[in-house]
Structure 1
Amino acid sequence: MAAILAGGASTARAEDAKAPAVAELETITVTARRREENVQSTPVSVSAFSGAALEERNVQTASDVTRFVPNVQFDSAASESGGGASSQISIRGIGQTDYVLTVEPAVGVYLDGVYIGKSMGSLLDAVDLERLEVLRGPQGTLFGKNTIGGAIQLISKRPTASFESYGQLTTGSYDRLDAKAAVSGPLSEAVRVRLSGAYQSRDGFVKRVTPAGEDTGDRQGDINRLSGRLAVEADLTPDLLATLMLDGTRIREHSPGQILVKADETAGFASAYNAGLPGGVCLAGAARLTNPFCYNSQWVRPLASLATTNAGPNLSNTDVLGAGLNLDWKVGGATVKSITAWRKVKVDVLQDLTASPYYYNFIGQRIDTKQFSQEFQLLGETLGARLHYVLGLYYLHEAGSQAFPVELSLVQFMSGGRIRNDSYAAFGQLTYDLTDQLSITGGLRYSDETRRFNPQGQIIQGYASLTPTPVPGFANFVTGAFGAAGTPLFPAGWYSRGDTSATPMVSANYKISPDVMAYASFSKGMKGGGFTMRYFPPVIPAAGTDPNNIVSYAGPEKASSYEVGLKSELFDHKLRFNIAAFYTDYQDIQITYNIDPDGPGPIGAFVPVLANAASAHIKGVEIETSAALTSWLRLDGSLGYTDAAYQSFSDQARANYPGLDGFKIPNTPRWTANLGGTATLFDDDAKGRAQLRVDYSFRSAEFKEFSNDPTLYQKSVGLLNASLTYRTPDRRIEASIGATNLTDETYIVSGVSNGGIGYAQAIVSRPREWFVSLKYAY
């Protein structure tokens, strides 16, 4: 399926092309099947946006595609992560809501063909892109890494054979200052280079206030990012092309725009804290709701206030480095490709949890992870160009550490650990054109994955009072309850699990006419298993027990997906209408949820565990369309419907959540929709070109985490964006003015709830913002 571009071409220099003089839609070229082809002849559910279309829609990061692609939820910050350029993505109801290193994303993010293996560091900026593609459904027979929910590909612009450059400055609300630039051209007849960079800066929009509501001057939710990319392309021989790519991102921000939406004074740790205040002043009576020493609902703020009483740490730093070497060798009628890549992500996060200066709780993340991947592909066609083939081998090695300090008012401990993973895969896909109209495709993937986890360093640190302002007469009744300082939370050592899978796909497509194609497909997907990272209280195996037998591990997820679709381009390329219907049987779903580790007891539902907790059936429909109504007006839109329902739950999930039979799958709105249009106000050689772009997107209600906490229930929301752009007659200068979230909606981006500590925090959306941009291209 194609998310159709209104006035955006698919070529690298689409933004330099003059708008057609007649009403006709642009041709969109994608590489969803590892070869360049018109998206309308691709029997795959793929939405594609050129670089020009992304700029036209004011797309700043990959997460912005959630406004334009049906049945896609792309949150710009994973719950509880505290930032770290993390994301949580769900496509057609399949996703993940945990960011830790032991959990594999359900939706794969690819940068120039390289898989981004972890949530942290996966929120990529949309800078100097040739194209962005979103593939829905299991992907495995064409991609290096298996992904059960779908894939998002960001394809950067390539070096050019002739010199070109551009620079762009943007200012706007919250002291916004963005700068983007790129230069490209030949160094010699055989070598071309492209260098691009971007700086993005915006002040935070969530105020930190005192308990009395006075502004402290501190902010959360700011943007401060510096990124760059270098690509060198060399013709080593007439048939061998080598591309060296280097990229880096430096982020120095504060915590996301988090607001406390629930303070549960009856929760395990919260009630123990309240009991520690002298005289029982926090246990009963209306006075407790105004006593600042007590922890209760007095600390909750409305989302629309854009204010929080967080007074603790406020830090989110991330550094990302990447290097890759692609070789493209044409041998006879085939092409051999090699993609070698290395990536490193370093994250340092500190965030306040409970928004009270007395019941003082915060967590940190110190993450250092590296990945190396190697992919080989053999692509080509034979039998008179009727048989198209893609064969591949893939290897991925991941190693990293996550130090996860949990600093609570009553007890402090270090969570986290180290990982070392290896993934091997062989995959292939064949397409045979039985006739000029009918083609069949078959593919198979075999994966062998080994995951290793070492909870080294998980220890009880102590029972100190962390409160910056001492609480008079406070008694910590928890002191010593979980062991002495230095007690390990879980026996250190490497724990290993291995998984293998074989996942097939078959499809058939039939050209009803040159401009209408129908297709049907079946595919299976697998998401690798993962260890529970967080342990508390200390797990001390009985004498003679092998800890390897009690380490908590969630096995692979599995999905079987059925899809039928129709793609059409009608009325002499003036109307594009695509529709797809799907059904997915989703098994062994990995869910991170909080359990009460000592049963019904004083701690409460505090410890997040990863478990195969449920199965589900998911069905839905996607419609995408575009119309060139006249030479000056183009409309595009999409509509998505998802009916996702749990079918069963594990015994452990039922024991911890007795009411879960009514739970909804998180991050899965039933309806998603988008309607946009581009109106060319004038376009001639004397006056230049002026265009107005308006976009409206809608998402129906959804829960943001597994337990369906009502404080993290996001009602239906609609967003309106608009911009006006003028380009000079020579097309070198472009000026834009626009606004996002014009109706100033406030909604939940993501959130976390913990029944042991007694809090829920929501990451809130950015408010209405205006911007002015000036771009010069040479």
Structure 2
Amino acid sequence: MRRSFQLFAVMLACFTTGPVAVQASDAPVAAADKSDVTTLDKVTVTARQREEELQKVPVAVSVVSGDWLDRSYTVNTQQLSLLVPSLYYNSANPRNTAYTIRGLGSNTLSVSAANDGIEPGVGFYVDGVYHGRPATAAFDFTDIERIEVLRGPQGTLFGKNTTAGAINITSRAPTFTPEGNGELSVGENGYLQAKANVSGPLSDTIAGRFAAQFTERDGVLHNVTTGKDENALDNYALRGQLLFKPSDDLDVRLIADVSNLDSDCCTQGYLRVGKSLKSAARQFAGLSANLPAHGFPAYVPPSRNVYDRLTDIDAPLHIDTQDGGVSLNADWNLGAVTLTSITAWRYWTWDVANDRDYIGVPIQTVQRIPSRQDQYSQEFRAASNTEGPFSYVAGLYFFTQEINGSPISVYGPAATYWLVSTTSFPGMPDNLADGYGQYGHSHFEVKSYAAFGEANYRITDRLTGTLGLRYTYEDKNGDYATTVSGGLPTTPGTLQDNAKLSLFRPQSYSAADSGGNVSGRTNLAYQFTDALMAYLSYARGYKSGGLNMSGLPLDAANNPALGTAVIKDETNKTWEAGLKSAWWGGRATLNLAAYRTVVNNYQANITSSIETAALRTYPANIPEVTVKGLEADFAAQVSKGFVVHASLAYADGKYADYPLGPCPLEWQNPNAAGGCQPLRPPASLANKTSNPRGNPNVPGAYVLTGLSLAGLSRWAGSLGFDYEVPAGSGAFLFHADVSGRSGYNSDTTHSIYTTIAGYAVTNASVGYRFNERWEVDVFARNLFDRDYITALTIQTGNSGLILGQPSDPRMVGVTLRASF
């Protein structure tokens, strides 16, 4: 808290003594008065790597302005997903972050296990720079001008890993007119946020901008074991920029930023218990009740209602992660063409202390993967400027990244009893796995090269055709090696030694994948009138194959399955038809899109059905996935000062071809071949219940063909408004937004126990702005204190326990804003 107040005071001093002193005669620009506006502002986007009006771009894109972010108190990607229905965000912790568009992209859902060798299918860009790790999307936004969410394959211009779409973030640029803004928010649960930015000229040709943000909040899950409040927030973000503008034709922008999160986070609580076909003694209720026979108290969860927000984890919990980098962006207008160069280096570091069993029983005491990622990228683009029937964008792109990790996992004194199969390994001593751990190192490196171009040709005054192509070549290499040690000393080859190896066994392997492919799109757009445009497009996206950088699953003989080290390229084919329209003399816009997507060899993280102890997850290909849907975006200037935004998305996603899927919890049977109850169980099985989706030809496989795609709500929507009412020398400000989505299944296996119910959440604020410089607001996040689940996790050992991450409770606070 002290740091936040100090920052706010320093920034206020900068506003009044910094850029104003350079040009004292230039008065700061007053905030725009929206109360007299009767038409919507025109929205500019860079969805095709050049500035264009949103309504003239034949691409499905949702735009959230910086003002809308500020008014809705949206500070990160999770909260952004409440405003953009087609965007879904899931994060058990920053490293295990997944975001999808139209249900496609990163598939890290209830398994909560990111894999460094599998890359996201949604590109995340900030000021033109691609971020290679999904974890960087978990940090708070800083000083943002607008966010564009591009839906569908964007392979031509955004390129790398945009088979499902792209999140394109543009920060506010330095200005030659002095300006500054400060904001301080205080709320319940110890919430404190300070934001400030200052911008202005440093010379006739150089302008600077600096922004800072601190956020603190107490934990919202109470630990009854330690007395601490878990899932706290403590982060900061800094961004500095220099703009060199020697002429109207040349802009050179140097950007440096760093974001840091250091807090006691993240854990989950008891949600429900699912039943498998294991013996009752090997399921959660039986395991919990029989603990006294093994020297531990019988276990009872602190609450069976996840919304009591109680936990009893008994291992340390902490996150320390940082993301930062430097980029040099240059635009040079040569008249007929503008040349663009974007050079960037970025890094991401990660360390964590986890209690992976999520309960107050010492099953797993340590799980960490200290990691560091470094990436370098270079992009050159040329875009035509001249008016005429033909226009184009073309360029070259290079990207390389290196990730080094050190996986560490250690079991506790209750691990043997809780995890080791008594059928396969009877009579094991309770201290067999106490202190038994895995220690290793992983190294992943990728080099990516691409050439791309997109041309637009105005066939008639109203009909324009677009053709874009991109060729990408990638080279990936990875090494993974682990050793095991600790626990009760055993002799190799004995039953006790094999029992320990069933938990962890040493692995050492190398994997590589290389190759290239073509992606692109073609589009026909017809401008019926100045206010009505329709388009039809076909796009093909491509994502190169992935490597398993988290250890290989074991086969039926308990040996590493080397065939799972490399997964195939993913391709995406999307047909889309859209309509963009303006109504009521520019007072309203309505944009519609209908699409059908077919993904071949969809890359996903799945869970091995054989390894019910370690619960290992690994990347694999799903043969075919289809998604079809409808989307609508509406905005209207209802009256002076009153603006409404609404979005609606319908999506129907299915596993079109997935006959060899992983087994869901309810059909897992350690006595069945492959660990999954078969369609026609043999007489030798004690439980002869028929599994209706058991594969008759492949033991252990579960037929997921025809079931709905994990992580995708059939319906999602948002509705919000801003209302500015003049009063005296200022204005009253009213804001509200409500977002909701229907229920969905959070796990690839489509288990009946991994469903997440639908929900709706409302945020609102009311304030008063006076003298065009000062503003005070009262805000509420989750106004009606709705309870819902944001993420699921299956407990280590597949005991049947399902953990849930509950929504944050209602938070009411006050914000003071100042502009200079």
The TM-score by the shorter chain falls in which range? 0.7 to 0.9
**Could you list the per-position Cα deviations for residues 465-500 of structure 1 after superposition, in whole angstroms to 9, with x for gaps in the alignment?**
9xxxxxxxxxxx9842267899973224x4211131
Aligned partner letter, 1:83? P
Match of 1:149 in 2: 164
Match of 1:683 in 2: 726
Aligned partner letter, 1:161? F
In 1, the alpha carbon distance for the partners of 2:236 and 2:796 equals: 38
Using the TM superposition, give the Cα deviation of residue 327 of structure 1 relative to its aligned residue in structure 2, in angstroms. Answer: 1.6
Q: So what's the TM-score if we normalise by structure 2?
A: 0.83
Using the TM superposition, give the Cα deviation of residue 119 of structure 1 relative to its aligned residue in structure 2, in angstroms. Answer: 1.8
Could you say what secondary structure the match of 2:354 adopts? strand
Could you say what secondary structure the match of 1:553 adopts? coil
**Could you list the per-position Cα deviations for residues 366-415 of structure 1 after superposition, in whole angstroms to 9, with x for gaps in the alignment?**
11110011111111145x43211110111111101122222232342235
What are the within-5 Å matches in structure 2 for residues 644-663 of structure 1?
644-651=653-660, 653=662, 655-658=699-702, 660-661=704-705, 663=707
Match of 1:125 among 131, 135, 140: 140
Using the TM superposition, give the Cα deviation of residue 97 of structure 1 relative to its aligned residue in structure 2, in angstroms. Answer: 2.9
Match of 2:121 in 1: 106
Q: Cα distance 1:144–1:93, how it changes in 2: closer, same or farther (>3 A)? A: closer
In 2, the alpha carbon distance for the partners of 1:341 and 1:248 equals: 14
Match of 1:706 in 2: 748
What are the within-5 Å matches in structure 2 for residues 326-725 of structure 1?
326-361=329-364, 362-382=366-386, 384-408=387-411, 409=415, 410=433, 411-414=436-439, 417-456=442-481, 458-463=482-487, 479-481=496-498, 489-492=506-509, 494-535=510-551, 550=563, 552-597=565-610, 603=612, 606-651=615-660, 653=662, 655-658=699-702, 660-661=704-705, 663-680=707-724, 682-683=725-726, 686-725=728-767
Q: Cα distance 1:536–1:289, how it changes in 2: closer, same or farther (>3 A)? A: farther
**Could you list the per-position Cα deviations for residues 548-587 of structure 1 after superposition, in whole angstroms to 9, with x for gaps in the alignment?**
9646211111110000011111111122111110000111
CA contact (8 A) 1:703 1:713 kept: yes
**May I ask how many residue pairs the two structures share in their alignment?**
725
Unmatched 5+ residue regions in structure 1?
Answer: 1-12, 211-215, 275-280, 466-476
CA contact (8 A) 2:123 2:162 kept: yes
In 1, the alpha carbon distance for the partners of 2:241 and 2:104 equals: 34
Q: Cα distance 1:715–1:628, how it changes in 2: closer, same or farther (>3 A)? A: same
Match of 1:736 among 755, 770, 777: 777
In 1, the alpha carbon distance for the partners of 2:312 and 2:571 equals: 43
In 1, the alpha carbon distance for the partners of 2:141 and 2:706 equals: 38
Q: Cα distance 1:483–1:769, how it changes in 2: closer, same or farther (>3 A)? A: closer
Match of 1:243 among 253, 257, 260: 253
In 1, the alpha carbon distance for the partners of 2:368 and 2:302 equals: 22
In 2, the alpha carbon distance for the partners of 1:519 and 1:389 equals: 18
CA contact (8 A) 1:256 1:763 kept: no
In 1, the alpha carbon distance for the partners of 2:443 and 2:592 equals: 45
Aligned partner letter, 1:480? D
Whether 2:82 is the aligned partner of 1:67: answer: yes
In 1, the alpha carbon distance for the partners of 2:280 and 2:484 equals: 19
Quick one: percent identity of the two aligned structures?
28
Q: Cα distance 1:32–1:189, how it changes in 2: closer, same or farther (>3 A)? A: same
CA contact (8 A) 2:208 2:243 kept: yes
Match of 1:749 in 2: 790
CA contact (8 A) 2:627 2:654 kept: yes
**Could you list the per-position Cα deviations for residues 234-274 of structure 1 after superposition, in whole angstroms to 9, with x for gaps in the alignment?**
12565332111100012111122511335679799997799
In 2, the alpha carbon distance for the partners of 1:377 and 1:617 equals: 33
**Could you list the per-position Cα deviations for residues 713-747 of structure 1 after superposition, in whole angstroms to 9, with x for gaps in the alignment?**
1111011111012111x311011111011121222
In 2, the alpha carbon distance for the partners of 1:742 and 1:269 equals: 45
Using the TM superposition, give the Cα deviation of residue 112 of structure 1 relative to its aligned residue in structure 2, in angstroms. Answer: 0.6
In 1, the alpha carbon distance for the partners of 2:89 and 2:468 equals: 28
In 1, the alpha carbon distance for the partners of 2:328 and 2:497 equals: 54
Unmatched 5+ residue regions in structure 2?
Answer: 1-27, 109-113, 416-432, 663-694
Match of 2:422 in 1: none
In 1, the alpha carbon distance for the partners of 2:310 and 2:461 equals: 62
Using the TM superposition, give the Cα deviation of residue 648 of structure 1 relative to its aligned residue in structure 2, in angstroms. Answer: 1.0
In 1, the alpha carbon distance for the partners of 2:452 and 2:514 equals: 19
In 1, the alpha carbon distance for the partners of 2:655 and 2:561 equals: 31
In 2, the alpha carbon distance for the partners of 1:14 and 1:566 equals: 37
CA contact (8 A) 1:489 1:537 kept: no
Could you say what secondary structure the match of 2:55 adopts? helix
Aligned partner letter, 1:555? K
Moved more, 223-232 or 252-261: 252-261
In 2, the alpha carbon distance for the partners of 1:265 and 1:311 equals: 25
Match of 1:8 in 2: none
Match of 2:230 in 1: 220
Match of 2:426 in 1: none
Using the TM superposition, give the Cα deviation of residue 618 of structure 1 relative to its aligned residue in structure 2, in angstroms. Answer: 0.8
Higher strand share: 1
Whether 2:103 is the aligned partner of 1:89: answer: no
**Could you list the per-position Cα deviations for residues 167-225 of structure 1 after superposition, in whole angstroms to 9, with x for gaps in the alignment?**
11100011111111111111111111101100000111011114xxxxx4212221111
Match of 1:321 among 319, 324, 327: 324
Whether 2:72 is the aligned partner of 1:57: answer: yes
In 2, the alpha carbon distance for the partners of 1:618 and 1:298 equals: 39
CA contact (8 A) 1:270 1:757 kept: no
